[in-house]
Amino acid sequence: MIKVKHVSHHFEMGKKGRKTVLPVLHDLSFEIHKGEIVAIAGKSGSGKSTLLNLISGFIRPVEGEIWIEGTKVTDLNESQFADFRLEHIGFIFQNFQLIPSMTAYENIELPLILKGLDVKARKKKTEETLEKVGLGQFGDHYPSELSGGQQQRVSIARALVSNPPLILADEPTGSLDSDTESELLDFIKQLNEELGITFLIITHDEEVASIGNRTIVVKDGQMVQGG
């Protein structure tokens, strides 16, 4: 599903002529297989979020290659990667990143609009996905009218609605209380078992990491466990 081959990355800080290079990742290589739940763990500043952004295509590695489902995504331009994400990748964020002026239904429907589906197909798929995440009666609610757990389920539904084979989750339980976190983790495991979706989860939480088939630990930009 994912191959990361000798990926290194750094950021350049400061103005031209006075730039400082900030190393972030150093020669990372690992594979994630279809149907796995893999956690990438590490302390704040370890480089795990940068790694997720590289796999997502939001930034490009200074060195190395990234492959997703047989496509060398590091060769894609920005427009091509945007199209690739719509077809292959769903995202779950710590702070949900729902559009507050849109209902739960409209937030979930948005990726289908971007893909160009017609109204009838969008309605069918959005309603099915609302039911799948247990929010069939909340489609007309705005994010502010939903609990944190419900908002995260809307976020998951938005990630699921396009049937992506891969979901990338960035600290998905970070804004939830412990009971809601446990419910969400059970739900992720259920989706993995029933639909075969591959999950790559960024976390510093041992309980979240424990649901994975394995954990890749990143420390000071280097992989010290997993792979």
| Residue 52 tokens, joined | 């997720």
Local confidence band at 17 (pLDDT 50, 70, 90 cut-offs): confident
- The first and second tokens of residue 26, run together, are 């150093």
Q: Which helix (H) or strand (E) holds 48?
A: helix 48-56
Residue with tokens 């944190």: 148
221 within 8 A of 46, measured Cβ to Cβ: yes
* Domain span holding position 131: 2-225
Q: Whole-model pTM?
A: 0.90
Above 80 in pLDDT, residue 190?
yes
What pLDDT is stored for residue 16 in this prediction? 74
Q: Are 19 and 12 in contact (CB under 8 A)?
A: yes
Q: Give the pLDDT confidence score for residue 19 in this predicted structure.
A: 82
Mean pLDDT is lowest, of 14-18, 134-138, 192-196, for 14-18
Does residue 161 contact residue 124 with C-beta atoms inside 8 Å?
no
Residues 6+ apart with CB under 8 A from 102: 110, 142
In percent, how much of the chain has pLDDT > 90? Answer: 78
Query: What's the whole-number mean pLDDT along residues 87-108?
Result: 94
* Predicted pLDDT of residue 45: 84
Judge whether residue 55 has pLDDT over 90: yes
In this predicted structure, what is the pLDDT of residue 52?
Answer: 93
pLDDT at 227 over 80: no
Instruction: Count Cα atoms within 13 angstroms, Cβ side, for 152.
Output: 23
The arithmetic mean of pLDDT across residues 172-197, rounded, is 89
Q: Of 10-24, 44-58, 108-122, where does mean pLDDT reach its minimum?
A: 10-24
Which of the four pLDDT bands, split at 50, 70 and 90, describes residue 43? confident
Domain harbouring 41, CATH code? 3.40.50.300
Total domains, the chain: 1
164: Cβ contacts below 8 Å, ≥ 6 apart: 87, 88, 89, 90, 197
Instruction: Give 108-162 pLDDT, tens digit per residue.
Output: 999 999 999 999 999 999 999 999 999 999 999 999 999 999 999 999 999 999 9
Residue range 192-208: mean pLDDT, rounded? 92
- Tell me what pLDDT residue 177 has: 87
Q: Is the pLDDT of residue 18 over 90?
A: no
